[in-house]
A and B are shown apart, each in its own frame.
Chain A
Amino acid sequence: MPDFETVIGLEVHVELKTRSKIFCSCANSFGGEPNTNVCPVCSGFPGMLPVLNQQAVEYAIMTGLALNCEIAEFSKFDRKNYFYPDLPKAYQISQYDLPICLSGYLDIELPGQARKRIGITRAHMEEDAGKLVHQGDITSTPFSLVDLNRSGVPLLEIVSEPDMRSAQEARAYLEKLRSILLFVGVSDCKMQEGSLRCDANVSVRPLGQAEFGTRAEIKNLNSFRALEKAIEYEARRQVEAIEDGETIIQETRTWDDDKQVTRSMRSKEDAHDYRYFPEPDLPPLRIAREWVARVKESLPELPDQAQQRLVEEYGLPSYDAGLITLSPEYLAFFDQCLAGYNQPKVIANWMMGELNRLLNQNNMEITQSRIKAHQLVQMLQLLDEGAISGKMAKSIFEEMFFTGKDAAEIVKEKGLAQISDQDALKPMIEQIVKENPKVVQDYKNGKEKAFGFFIGQIMRITKGQANPALVNQLLKEILNQQ
């Protein structure tokens, strides 16, 4: 049997954090009481008309430029028709054949691999639907409630080319896309809250085959991990099916995060005919080149630029620099540390090591941790002064991470300060040497273990706080005097 290659394309929906919704003046905010951010327009009442939010268009332009897209001079909106209780007008205003952003790309980087360019087919604007609230499961609920707070929230759907070849690449693409969106500042990109949503088109083909296999579209991918796991599962499923002589059918599947499997939702035959046609209530969108130029001018530093800066100015490895530029807050943390502590590699190591470990373990964003950049700087200075050991530093860091206390305060509270005082250590060592004449003799006879015994004793008495280098030096001096 031939080896198979996985082919992946992603469709990402991102909620734009404009102040108001895309077609009305309702607040665009997450988490309010049901049906409090609603009006006749976003509830689809008779006679209501959409008015396009200019900020949403500008955010789309910003995103498009950051993704190296062409910004269409002429774009339009279309109606996508389907009935669902969370879709008040029974059509979604979207963009069908003339999206605002076209043919861009972003670059991804996996450890130990060269950068890879992933194409972006298009990005188009549309309105979000509301939400249904069920009592328990959708199939058994006696009734469902409709919450239209989300109805009319501006979305940008970003469609990639089928350029990814592994779950890891797909994850790297989504992470990079997210970092770009965060740097540009157009979205919160919170997967749990649904402000960043991702569907994956997955197919497999024998290595060397030019044409694509039949794809399945996988929905309900609510985390980076789910994306990775779902693609791995789905690729395996398709390969096994092909090897069993089955034909892959084009279908929509959903990721079951509990069972870690994809399940069929509907086949292509059951797919909706959305009957797209131009939205007659909105004139076509003509985007002046001056506007695009102005937006381009005002774009902030983007992840790739920041990564390059980190590599060129501070000599960080490209991959490390890539990780530090995954979010603007993360990069800001680095830059702030650097302002007070001029050793970029040390900072980078702490961020990629302890900081990342704690963030991942606790499923947190850097903004949720309580540690501040100047506190890490202070801790690094204590380490340099020898006031704390490297081992202590790790536990102090963890404490700072959760409590936001200063390193010095933690050291003081816990009596963690390293004993670097000769006057304190010397009598202690002399006492132990005096109490163990036999071991001193062993040492003199050249037994290596004897030295280690004394170190162990001193560390035990000082609860590990003795400065190891100093203890080493003093112990040698005292033993040699015996």
Chain B
Amino acid sequence: MQLCQLTVHQLMDLLKSRDTSAFEVAQSYARRIGEVEDQVKAFITRTEDLALEQARFCDEKGVFSGLFGVPYGLKDIFCTRGVRTTAGSRILENFVPAYDATAAQALKDAGGCLLGKLNMDEFAMGSSTESSAFFPTRNPWDLERVPGGSSGGSAAAVAALEVPYALGTDTGGSIRQPASFCGIVGLKPTYGRVSRWGVIAYASSLDQVGVFSRDVRDCALVMNVIAGHDPLDSTSVDMERPDYTEFLQTDIKGIKIAFPREYFQEGVEAGIRSAVKAALKQYEELGAIVEEVSLPYSEYALPAYYLVATAEASANLARYDGVRYGLRDFSADNVVDMFSLSRARGFGDEVKRRIMLGTYALSSGYYDAYYLKALKVRRLINEDFTRVFEDYDVIVAPTTPTTAFKIGEQIGDPLTLYMNDILTVPVNMAGLPGMSIPCGMVGGLPVGMQLIAKPFDEGSIFRAAYAFEQHTEFHKMQPQLGVK
């Protein structure tokens, strides 16, 4: 068994017992990246040398706690000091930040070793990583298929054993959907739980930083490092961070699980429905109370999401104007043309589409009908969930309506592509924590199950997810990649 096949907590144990060194671990991952990256194409920027250097430093320091000496990867949306950060866009192709995102800094301070910056849909707009300005990432389970998105590089890298864990961001499903497609654990924490400072914004009221890992314990360990209040992010919440590993209990007797009927309808592939239903049965066998509920406003979440998210994006992406950094078109002879040409060249089709949508939704005369209406829908969705959480601890649903689709299959049809997020978007609209964990295989492709809890109750999710994991083998499945 190679080191790169181990989980974070297994690596930590080996490091603690001095059975390996941080350098050896980093080397193992660097080797693995060298072997499979040509097929997976998860990285926009590889920093194995940096990881090895950080690992050597960790070994010299001789600290053996937390994530010290454990390598990781970051979605290329996290600003990293001195390391190019592109957000998957031409417009930031050569942008090197002078600062680390708070979450990235936390991992650095904890002794993490950065293996590289991971591919993503441009500015996190997409569900397949095909809108990356550079190249699509492949699903390690089937290289013809997408890894999901927008954090597809992060999910694929974790699944392909190129990194033990990675950070991503989730605005409408961008962690949970690729985690589901790649058969790993993906957590989107409560909005406000992890700092967004230094994370390139897509839709500020929905974006949240989260974790990709190979099992639930690893996810808790990483959350213990990145969660918490950040005075630099006014939307991060000033409340104490629990030790998430304390929720990793196998006994879930008496917990109340709701499954919303709206999430098990026609649009969701039968194989996925039955996999999640089987998981619910498993929960019942473990002593949980499982009941059907209704979340009637969920069906409006997707259109409302595409108004709120694009409206915010239209403002968030306005700063890429070629004046201070990023791509600038020098052929223009006045400033307005410089703005237009720089943005026309720097942004891809999907980004332009969403900027236009959002600009339209906020325009004078349309604001009330679109943006304001969407905010009202958002409140109703929130109330839906609040009502359910009065009686239940966790909501369980499929993460995605389909398993991973083929590269090129949906990219020409934005509306079909947007449907990928239909089961994940309501969670963002309500600001809730949601996790996807593997719960089955359909046609050789992983199926994800989504666990949702009330705000700041990641603990209940960890508890339910861990119990399921301990009684099943799905998290141990690994894709077989040809090794050079």
Q: Do A and B come from one complex?
A: yes
Residue of B nearest to A86 (CB): B323
Whether a CB of chain A sits under 8 angstroms from the CB of B371 is yes
Q: Which B positions have Cβ atoms within 8 angstroms of A?
A: 78-79, 85, 87, 92, 95, 97-99, 101, 196-201, 203-205, 231-235, 311-312, 314-315, 318-319, 321, 323-325, 335-336, 339, 359, 362-364, 367, 371
Partner of B79, one of A46, A50, A79, A277: A46
Q: Please report A residues at the B interface, Cβ cutoff 8 Å.
A: 40, 43-52, 79, 81, 83, 85, 88-91, 144, 146, 273, 275-277, 280-283
Contact B315 A79 (CB under 8 A): yes
Closest Cβ–Cβ distance, residue A34 to chain B (whole Å): 13
Given the interface pairs A43-B324, A277-B315, the reply to whether A51 lies near B232 with Cβ below 8 Å is yes
Residue of B nearest to A132 (CB): B335
With A52-B234, A275-B362, A281-B235 as given contacts, are A85 and B315 in contact (CB-CB < 8 Å)?
A: no
Q: Is the CB of A49 within 8 A of B233?
A: yes
Contact B318 A90 (CB under 8 A): yes
B314 → chain A, closest Cβ, in Å?
A: 8
State whether B79 touches A81 (Cβ < 8 A): no
| 12 sampled A-B residue pairs with Cβ under 8 A | A44-B319, A46-B87, A46-B201, A47-B101, A47-B199, A83-B339, A89-B315, A89-B319, A91-B318, A273-B364, A277-B311, A282-B234
Tell me, rounded to whole Å, the shortest Cβ–Cβ distance linking B256 to chain A: 31
Q: Is the CB of B235 within 8 A of A283?
A: yes
Specify the chain B residue showing the minimal Cβ separation from A81. B315
B234 touches A46 (CB 8 A): no
Asked, given contacts A40-B99, A47-B201, whether A83 binds B318 with beta carbons under 8 Å apart, the answer is: yes
Residues of A within 8 A of B95 (CB): 46
| Minimum CB distance partner of B359 in chain A | A275
Chain A residues near B359: list those with CB within 8 A.
Answer: 275
Query: Given contacts A44-B319, A48-B198, A275-B364, could you give 4 more A-B pairs where the C-beta distance is less than 8 Å?
Result: A90-B318, A90-B319, A275-B359, A276-B362
Q: How close is B291's CB to chain A, nearest CB, in angstroms?
A: 35
Checking A51, A88, A282 against B324 with a beta-carbon cut-off of 8 angstroms, the contacting residue is A88
State which of A50, A146, A281 has its C-beta within 8 Å of the C-beta of B323: A146
Q: Assess whether A281 is in contact with B319, with CB atoms less than 8 Å apart.
A: no
Cα of A277 to Cα of B367 in the assembled complex, Å = 9
Once the chains bind, are B200 and A85 in contact (CB under 8 Å)?
no
Q: Which residues from chain A contact B232 at a C-beta distance below 8 Å?
A: 49, 51
Which listed residue, B97, B336, B363, B364, touches A46 by the CB 8 Å rule? B97
Identify the closest chain B residue to A273 (Cβ).
B364
- Closest partner residue, chain A, to B78 (CB atom): A47
Q: Which residues of chain A come closer than 8 Å to B235, judged between CB atoms? A: 49, 280-283
A178 CA / B266 CA spacing, docked (Å): 67
With A45-B97, A275-B359: A50-B234 Cβ-Cβ less than 8 Å: yes
Could you tell me the distance in whole angstroms from the C-beta of A129 to the nearest C-beta in chain B?
Answer: 12
Cβ A273 vs Cβ B197 within 8 A: no
The answer to whether residues A280 and B197 also contact, given A89-B318, A275-B364 and a CB cut-off of 8 A, is: no
Contact for A85 among B203, B205, B231, B323, CB less than 8 A: B323
Chain B proximity of A281: nearest CB distance (Å): 5
How many Å lie between the Cα of A282 and that of B205 in the bound state? 10
In angstroms, Cα B336 to Cα A79, docked, is 21
Contact residues in A for B197 (Cβ distance below 8 Å): 47-49
